[in-house]
Every structure is written in structure tokens, then in C-alpha cells.
Structure 1
Amino acid sequence: MKMIGRRWMAAFGLTLMTAACGTSDPTGAGEEAALIKRAPTLENEFTPVELEATIDNLVAEINKNSIEPMQMTVMLKTLSAFFAPIATGANRAMGELGVTGNVVGPLQQTGDQKADMEGQSRQIKQTVMEGAEGIGISPFGDGNVAALDEAVAKGVHVVTLDTDLASSKRSIYVGTNNKSAGTTAGKTLLALLPSGPGTVVIHGSLDPTWIDGKDRTQGAQGVLEAAGYRTLVRPVTWNQEGEADDVEWMKTQIETAEPPVVGLIGLFDLSYRCAMATEAADKPDLPVVTFDFNPKTVDYMREGRVKATHIQRQYYQGYLVPYILYGIKTLGLEATKSILAPQMVDDSRFNLGLDVVPGNKVDEYNSFLDSIGANQ
């Protein structure tokens, strides 16, 4: 198993203002513990000011108590691409907290949903055996519920991120409110469309077993259909081999749909395939909006082919989870949720919000990501 859970200084070669761990010196002289200090965040037009204020409030409350040791693990579906900024944020937060922690990818990612869930469940059990008091996890699916519930029964605090498992006994989910995210993206595209009638192609998912993807897709559908547009959904094909199929299907709709296609929207990291489809259909002027900040998406933004994208604040997903786990241990679950209340959409879900990045703001957004060390 590849372990990358290192202090921010070791992992990324940056100096942070971090706190020492422990509440007293070994002689019992009563030396006060150093306070937790966050690395400063430079103000930028994309800085999530309200989110930053909530994190500051959580740190302030933690600092009113004795600093305690804690062991935690953050488990991600992979350590690269979309998940790289999540790993960056988690490593930084654990460094600031001074906890014993690591960020890990899967033991072996096979691409088979069932096999990946089984592998992650084994990983959860092993982490608990090794003494973890907190687990942050991006679960592969419902097959992980039993292992997580078993961990909770043993006193381990669990926070999900990116993908929720509401049916489990996890304490809090940190990530995108997918229904509202889809609605936001739909409104972004709607502002670019000509008057109807028209058809909009959605690169999304209506798979009932993937609630997050379905919610996001239906959020976009709702906005566009309420405005009088017909929608056609192409289920995203996640493997690289499926790229040609995705592009060909969308190209065919652009060429044949009635009423004609007037725009495309991609709702996941492979959104750039929408721009590829307009290129293949020789309709490069069709408006396209996307999700995430895949390098290929960025290239199309620079070319003016993607008009805007929506970023899920992956860095903050990773950064918040260790602080929430530590808050639950030291302050208690209800006190922690009370501090997080400005972004809580219900009793257990924390909504990070979205960064909406216009196509002409790529450099400015890259500068923001660079300022927090979170460029993909």
C-alpha cells in the first residue's frame, strides 16, 4: 500500500506555521501547549471567504481546549488527477494539527466497482486495527457501509467526502451539494443559450445506484427543461476506452436532434468530451459549460471552446476533514456541527459550494490554486 501521509513540509517542501503536539513537557513543569495556527491564505477573487471564516471559527474553538494527540487516516479513490488537491489539503491540515495521520489511495484499484469496494472495506478494517481514531473516506459505494458501521461501533469517528454514504453511521459528509451544483451549472449554460426551442446535451448520469451523479444531472435538467429546452443525457463512460463512444454519441445528437442542439453541459471531470463532440460535429461555436479543472478542460477554456467550468473545491474537502475529525474528538459531534452550521444543509451534510470560473479567468484561478498549493 502506497502511503503519502506526510507532514506538509515533508510532502511538498513548504514551510508552515504549525503547532507542536502535546499538552505538557515531560518534566511536568506545566508548559502550555502551542496553539494550532493555520497557514495564511492569500486573499483572491476566488477565495471562499465564508468558508474560510467557518474554518477559523472551528480552529478557535479547538484552541480553547488542550491539544490532544490523535491518529487518523484519509482514504481516497486515487491520489492523482481530481483527488490530488484533496490529498494536498488533508496533508496540510494534519500537519497543522500535529496529528499522526496519512492519506492513502486504494490497495489496488481494479476499475471493477465491486472489487474496489471490497478492497476498501479491507482497508478500513486494517486501519481500525492499526489504531485509527478517525477516518475520512471517499467511499467506492454501498458495499463499504458494513465496514464503516463496524468502525463506528468501535468508537472511530467517520467523515465521508466527495461521495456520501448516507445509509452508513458516518457523522458528517463534506462535499458538493449535488442537486444545487447541477442547478448552478444549468443556470450558467442557460445564460449562454439562444431563445428556444432547442435541445441541450447533458454528459451526466441517471444511474439510480449513483445518487450523487443522478442528483447533479437532475438539477441541471430541471433548470433547462423549466426554461423550455429538451434535454438528452449521455451517461458518462469513465474509462479512457469509452471516450470515443461518448464523443460519437454526442456528435450524432448535434447532427440529428430535433429541435437542434443549442448547447452542451458536462457534469463531471471528463466534461471536456463535450467540446470534443462539438469539434467532431464541426459546430465549435455551440456553447459548452463543464465541471472540474481537468487539464484538457483548461485547454478548451483557453481556446474559448468551454465558456465556464464549476470547481468542487477539492482542496477544501481534504483540508476540512482532519479538522472536523479532530473537532469531533475534542469538542464533540454536536458542538462541531454547531460551528459548521453556516454551511450545513441538514443535520449531517456540509456543503462546500462551487467556484464558477469563466473561460477568460483561467490564469486568475490558476493563481488562486497556486496560492494554496492545490493545482492539479
Structure 2
Amino acid sequence: MKMTGRRWMTALGLMLMTAACAAEDAPQSDKPTEEIALIKRDRTPVTEFTPEDIEETVDKLANAINRSGLEPIQMVVLLKHLSTFFEPIATGANRAMGELEAVGNVLGPTTQMVMDDGTTSQSLQNQQIANAIEDGAQGIGISPYDSLNEVSIRKAVESKLHVVTFDTDLKDSGRTLYVGAIQKEAGAKAAQALLDSKIGGLPPPPGTVVLHGDTSAQWYDGSQRTFGAMDALGKTGYTVQVVQAAFVNGQEDFDVGQLKSLIMSADPPVVGMIGMFNISYRCVMAAEAAGRPDMPIVTFDFDPKTVEYMQKERIKATIVQRQYYEGYLVPYILYGIEHIGLEATKEILRPLMVDENKMPDEHRVNIGVDVVPQDKFDEYNDFLDQIGSIQ
């Protein structure tokens, strides 16, 4: 797979890109115009995959910040790690912080869950939150490890910092907003793609659909995505069986073995599969191991192995979570909260937010997902290449 664009990753952090910016909007401030650095965005190229609603919302937010008289603020964006799935998030966050001339960094550990010195990724992230508080940060963006980071986030909120979660939510932590996909909706879209005769397509029921997912209470977002697919399929007459995905390093063979065993023993026979996470490609490996290379499969994310199987036409469609936009939105939201206030920022974000009349305590910015059929793979890959978002 072709890889273009600059990579800004390091083992424990990313260098902040900064750029002198200007804007056409006249600033509403007592300071002379020449003393105020204004935002000028480079909009994403328009393609069939460009989310125009997100682009227009960021334009409005940037214009409102400019009118307030832009003053740099200090922030930090914390990722679970800096590789694979999180690379596009880091790219987007760095780009936005550069446009905003933010003071701070995008940080995260390596892909190891346990560092050489015994530090876990979770404890490192908690330490980074504590450092941000001590250093006087005015905002934190974080992809948390569920409840393992809840206490640290609460401490940040108690210190008057606004915290925006992304990728994984912790709505009971006191965080200000969540940015990302609404996982139950995303799971339903995966089921719809598998059922769609133009994308996946299944023989009529009876038949079993296997979900490589997670139904545990420990991972709210993962289980919500899985339940979304289960609910959508439950109305169709197919039998649904879930294989609990194994993420621990070294468990790929075990994971594939679980899936293979179910494919070979299910009654009624397995007619399709959905991989709910970035290790979705294991569904293809299991189907081939079970002698079912023709199995219709829908996956999540754009992992390099998933891309490889899409090129081989073994995956009918993949659901991509727009990681680049997760990273890109967070710094703009933190700036907006600081400069124009939380309510004004939420009002600009309103077209993207979950209906707060129905769910007043949610405070979630829904950036949606992309459903990428196999026959649109090249076009989508080109779109990611243009925004520097290929993993």
C-alpha cells in the first residue's frame, strides 16, 4: 500500500506543528489587528467521502474564535498509543494545533500495554493528565481506557479544565463533550452493509451470522457497537452468535481458532460475518481456515491487513470511524470553549450533536462513520492519502 505524506510520530509524543495564520474575518478585539494571530484553515479536498457537515462546522467555529480575538491556549491531546488506528487521530490533532498555534503536544505510549519499565499504558495516561494539570493546561483531549482513567479525568475537571473525550467515552467522568462515532449506530450500519445486496448480501434465512465483537460490561463502547449489530440483525430472522474478540498480544491464533470452530459447527450454517473492531481481518483468516473463502464479511476500520483483504476482494465493505476528524475537531473545540464559551461552542456544534432534547446528559458530537464498499476501496484510499490519514 502506498504511503505518502509526512509522519510526525515519535515513541512517546508528537512534535507540534505550528504555522503563522491569517484570516479574512475582521477581529472584534481591542488589540491592534497586527497583534492578533488569526486562524486560516486549509479545507479538506472535496470528494464523495468528504464530510461537508463537519467541514462547515469547523469553519463556523474558526470564524467565531477569530471574532473573539485569538489568544493561544495550552492544551494536551492524549492517545491510547501512537500507531495503527491512532495515527490518523494524531495527524488531525497535530494539524489543528498547528493552525491554532496551540501550546502543547499530542502524546501517547507505544503500542505496548506494558512498557519496559513496568509502566502500563493506562498509568502513563493518568500521569500525563496529572502533568497537564500541574503545567497549567487549559484543556485536555483524551481517548481514555474506560473507567481506568475516570478518577484522573475527574481531578482535571475539579481543577477547572475542560476535558473532551474521543474514540472512547466516559460520560460519568465529568467530561465536557465526547467526539466520535455513536457506536450503536455504527454497529447497525455494519449489519445493514452485510444485508445490502449491493454490498454484502446474504442468502435468505435461516442462517447464522457471526459477530467478532464484545458484549462485556467492562467496555461500554465496544459492547454498544456489538449490540447495535445484534439489534439490527435480530429483526431479520437470522441467528446471531458472538465470539468475544481477543486483543491481547499473541492471541491471534486463539482468536482465529474460536471463529473457525464456530463456522464449522454452527447450526444453522454460518452465512456471513461481521468483525466489529480493527482486528476484523481475523474473520477472513478464520473463514479461509474453515474452507469458506466465499463467506460474505463486513469489517471495521482500515487496518493494513483489512486493506490487504479488501484489495483481494475478500471483504465486502468496511466501516471507518473518521479518526482524522476525531483528532482534528478536539483542539478546535477546546479553543472554542476557552474563547467563546461552552454554550456558544455547543451551539455551533449543534448540527453534529446527538439530540440533547431526547438525551440531555449525553453531550456527544457525532461525527458519523464512512461505509466503504469493496468497489470504492481505491477512491477511499485516495481520499485518505490526500488528508495524510493512511495508517
Q: Could you state the TM-score of these two structures normalised by the residue count of structure 1?
A: 0.92
Task: Tell me whether 1:349 sits opposite 2:364 in the alignment.
Answer: yes
Task: Tell me whether 1:4 sits opposite 2:14 in the alignment.
Answer: yes
Following the alignment from structure 1 to structure 2, what is the Cα–Cα distance between the partners of residues 211 and 52?
29
Q: Which amino acid aligns with 1:144?
A: N
For the 8 Å contact 1:107–1:120, the answer to whether it is kept is no
Match of 2:341 in 1: 332
1:225: Cα distance to partner?
1.5
Following the alignment from structure 1 to structure 2, what is the Cα–Cα distance between the partners of residues 29 and 323?
24
Following the alignment from structure 1 to structure 2, what is the Cα–Cα distance between the partners of residues 284 and 35?
55
Q: Which amino acid aligns with 1:88?
A: T
1:284: Cα distance to partner?
0.8
- CA distance 1:107–1:48, change in 2 (3 Å): closer
Q: Which amino acid aligns with 1:87?
A: A
- CA distance 1:3–1:193, change in 2 (3 Å): same
1:35: Cα distance to partner?
2.4
1:270-323 CA-partner distances (Å, limit 9, x unpaired) = 000001111101111110000000111111111111000000000000000000
Match of 2:55 in 1: 52
Q: Which amino acid aligns with 2:149?
A: N
- CA distance 1:108–1:235, change in 2 (3 Å): closer
Q: Which residue, 297, 304, 307 being the options, matches 2:313?
A: 304
Match of 1:224 in 2: 233
Q: Which residue, 262, 271, 284 being the options, matches 2:280?
A: 271
- CA distance 1:30–1:311, change in 2 (3 Å): closer
Q: Which residue, 202, 213, 218 being the options, matches 1:204?
A: 213
1:132: Cα distance to partner?
1.0
- CA distance 1:354–1:17, change in 2 (3 Å): farther
1:111: Cα distance to partner?
4.9
1:162-203 CA-partner distances (Å, limit 9, x unpaired) = 001111111000011001000111111122111000001100
Following the alignment from structure 1 to structure 2, what is the Cα–Cα distance between the partners of residues 209 and 2?
27
For the 8 Å contact 2:37–2:71, the answer to whether it is kept is no
- CA distance 1:279–1:153, change in 2 (3 Å): same
For the 8 Å contact 1:161–1:174, the answer to whether it is kept is yes
Task: Tell me whether 1:249 sits opposite 2:270 in the alignment.
Answer: no
Match of 2:169 in 1: 164
Q: Which amino acid aligns with 1:206?
A: T
What is the CA RMSD across the aligned residues, in angstroms? 2.1
Aligned length: 363
| The 10-residue stretch of structure 1 (176-185 or 243-252) with the greater mean CA deviation from structure 2 | 243-252
| The 10-residue stretch of structure 1 (328-337 or 99-108) with the greater mean CA deviation from structure 2 | 99-108
Q: Percent identity?
A: 52
Show the 5 A alignment for 1:187-202: 187-191=192-196, 192-202=201-211
Match of 2:244 in 1: 235
1:34-58 CA-partner distances (Å, limit 9, x unpaired) = 4211113111111011111111111
1:239: Cα distance to partner?
2.6
For the 8 Å contact 2:108–2:125, the answer to whether it is kept is no
For the 8 Å contact 1:108–1:119, the answer to whether it is kept is no
For the 8 Å contact 2:81–2:110, the answer to whether it is kept is no
Q: Which residue, 113, 120, 139 being the options, matches 2:144?
A: 139
Find the residue that maps to 1:245 and give its secondary structure.
Answer: helix
Task: Tell me whether 1:282 sits opposite 2:287 in the alignment.
Answer: no
Show the 5 A alignment for 1:32-181: 33-106=36-109, 109-111=112-114, 115-181=120-186
Unaligned runs of at least 5 residues, structure 2? 1-10, 357-361
Following the alignment from structure 1 to structure 2, what is the Cα–Cα distance between the partners of residues 284 and 115?
39
Following the alignment from structure 1 to structure 2, what is the Cα–Cα distance between the partners of residues 30 and 74?
30
Task: Tell me whether 1:363 sits opposite 2:373 in the alignment.
Answer: no
1:88-125 CA-partner distances (Å, limit 9, x unpaired) = 0000000000111210003895359x943333212210
- CA distance 1:17–1:366, change in 2 (3 Å): farther
Q: Could you state the TM-score of these two structures normalised by the residue count of structure 2?
A: 0.89
For the 8 Å contact 2:16–2:104, the answer to whether it is kept is yes
For the 8 Å contact 1:19–1:97, the answer to whether it is kept is no
Find the residue that maps to 2:372 and give its secondary structure.
Answer: strand
